[in-house]
Amino acid sequence: MIVLSRSQADKLLNARETGMGTISVTPDLGLTKCEVNVGEDGVRFPDVQWLGWDEVMRIRSSDVGCFMLEEGKLRKIQTFSEHTNRHISLMPTDGAPTLLVAGFPMHRIKGTDPSQDTLTKIETISPVIGRVLDTATGLGYTAIEASKTAEVVITIEIDPVVLEIAHLNPWSKDLFENPKIEQLIGDSFEVIQGFEDGSFSLIIHDPPTFSLAGELYSQAFYHQLYRVLERGSRLFHYIGDLESRSGKRVARGVVERLREVGFNCIRRHPEAFGVVGVR
Ligand SMILES: C[S@@+](CC[C@H](N)C(=O)[O-])C[C@H]1O[C@@H](n2cnc3c(N)ncnc32)[C@H](O)[C@@H]1O
């Protein structure tokens, strides 16, 4: 499968203008490169996939779309989730793509990119070892990063449609191939109730913004996070820009509720847009 976005379309159109021939482009949003043949009617990829100029123009006209080319058909990677009644799509950046849920990017993309965003979150709780709970799979970047050093990562996603999109994202490949990652489909709010007390050595809680998933910021949920964490272990909780007015307000409530359920040593991590608490 080939996945393309506007910057590859720009490069192909540029090659058409400056003369046909063979050029190098990325077929997987920047992970690898391949040689393609730029001809009068379109572009030929190494596996004999063919993309006409109309299709290249279609990709070029979308700022926020990623497109897959499979068996000669071009399709935008987007869908409507009947589960959550939200539009979900893959959005390109200069690095790893992000997930758009109801128009909200699920990773930081201003002044950073989703890969760096993931590393910054993980650094707040490193070393990442033992049994890790990742409460919100998304594109799986936090689960993939944590799995590099953890024994096992249990990751939960409420929306199967998100996982369908992740399947089409070249940057999410490890989510489906790494045996150290166990995927669960369900509502974290409910799934967490089935875990035993003290069964995790680290929790990464990276929920959507408060307005999309208020229950994941509730005291009842924090109580469960506390219960399933081993004594002395840490929780990273993504919140949003701690310097913004809304970020400050949400963070105040989060810290208060985390304290109420028993977390201590709660530290703000403005660089990671979140806080770390210890059980
Ligand atoms: C900010 S994204 C997570 C990004 C992810 N950590 C990554 O690295 O790609 C939040 C994800 O949580 C999912 N989600 C929302 N509510 C949820 C819930 N109650 N239980 C589990 N997942 C949920 C959303 O569908 C979305 O995919």
Mutate to test the pocket of ligand 1, among 113, 121, 157, 224 (most ligand atoms within 8 A of CB): 157
Task: Give residue 127 CA to ligand 1 midpoint distance, Å.
Answer: 23
In terms of pTM, does the model score above 0.75? yes
Question: What percent of the chain has pLDDT above 90?
Answer: 94
Sorting pLDDT into bands at 50, 70 and 90, what band is 108?
very high
Nearest Cα residue to atom 24 of ligand 1: 138
Q: Is the CB of 213 under 6 A from ligand 1?
A: yes
What pLDDT, on the 0 to 100 scale, is given for residue 59?
A: 97
Task: Give residue 21 CA to ligand 1 midpoint distance, Å.
Answer: 43
pLDDT(274) > 80: yes
pLDDT tens for 114-136 read 999 999 999 999 999 999 999 99
Task: Give residue 137 CA to ligand 1 midpoint distance, Å.
Answer: 5
What pLDDT, on the 0 to 100 scale, is given for residue 143?
A: 98
Sorting pLDDT into bands at 50, 70 and 90, what band is 20?
confident
Q: Is the CB of 206 under 6 A from ligand 1?
A: yes
Query: What is the number of the ligand 1 atom nearest to the C-alpha of 135?
Result: 21
Task: Give residue 119 CA to ligand 1 midpoint distance, Å.
Answer: 17
3-state secondary structure the chain: CEEECHHHHHHHHHHHHHCCEEEEECCECCCCCEEEEECCCEEECCCCCEEEHHHHHHHHCCCCCCEEEECCEEEECEEEECCCCEEEEEECCCCCCEEEECCEECCCCCCCCHHHHHHHHHHCCCCCCCEEEECCCCCCHHHHHHHCCCCEEEEEECCHHHHHHHHHCHHHHHHHHCCCEEEEECCHHHHHHHCCCCCEEEEEECCCCCCCCHHHHCHHHHHHHHHHEEEEEEEEEECCCCCCHHHHHHHHHHHHHHHHHCCEEEEEEHHHCEEEEEC
Query: What is the number of the ligand 1 atom nearest to the C-alpha of 213?
Result: 16
What pLDDT, on the 0 to 100 scale, is given for residue 49?
A: 84
Q: Is the CB of 145 under 6 A from ligand 1?
A: no
What pLDDT, on the 0 to 100 scale, is given for residue 182?
A: 98
Q: Which of 19-23, 50-54, 251-255 has the lowest mean pLDDT?
A: 19-23
Q: Is the CB of 65 under 6 A from ligand 1?
A: no
Query: What is the number of the ligand 1 atom nearest to the C-alpha of 134?
Result: 6
Q: Give me the domains of the chain, ranges plus CATH numbers.
A: 2-75 (no CATH), 107-278 (3.40.50.150)
pLDDT(1) > 90: no
